[in-house]
């Protein structure tokens, strides 16, 4: 098992909020907040459908995962054009 596969397994076992590909995950919400120009506000869910209600987080693992998505979009992603 590669290191990336191990990390994916660990995230999956910790809960759906750690599955990066899932809509509403910590990573997804972080990257979305960056894309829309919002301030850092660690949370997951709250986007309708199967993502469930918004859950604010304060534990270190969740914040790190949220910030990974936020930082990825800041470095590699785009920003919404409100013009």
- For 13-51, write each residue's pLDDT tens digit: 778 888 888 899 999 999 999 999 999 999 999 877 667
pTM strictly above 0.75 = yes
Q: Is 80 exceeded by the pLDDT of residue 72?
A: yes
Residue of 46, 40, 24 whose CA lies nearest to 73: 40
Cα gap 11→40, rounded to integer Å: 21
């Amino acid at each position: 098992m590669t290191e990336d596969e191990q990390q994916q397994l660990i995230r999956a076992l910790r809960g759906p909020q750690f599955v990066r590909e899932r809509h509403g995950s910590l990573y997804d919400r972080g990257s979305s907040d960056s894309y829309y120009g919002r301030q850092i506000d660690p949370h997951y869910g709250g986007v309708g459908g199967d993502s469930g209600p918004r859950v604010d987080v304060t534990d270190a693992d969740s914040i790190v995962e949220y910030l990974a998505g936020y930082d990825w979009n800041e470095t590699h992603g785009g920003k919404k054009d409100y013009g």
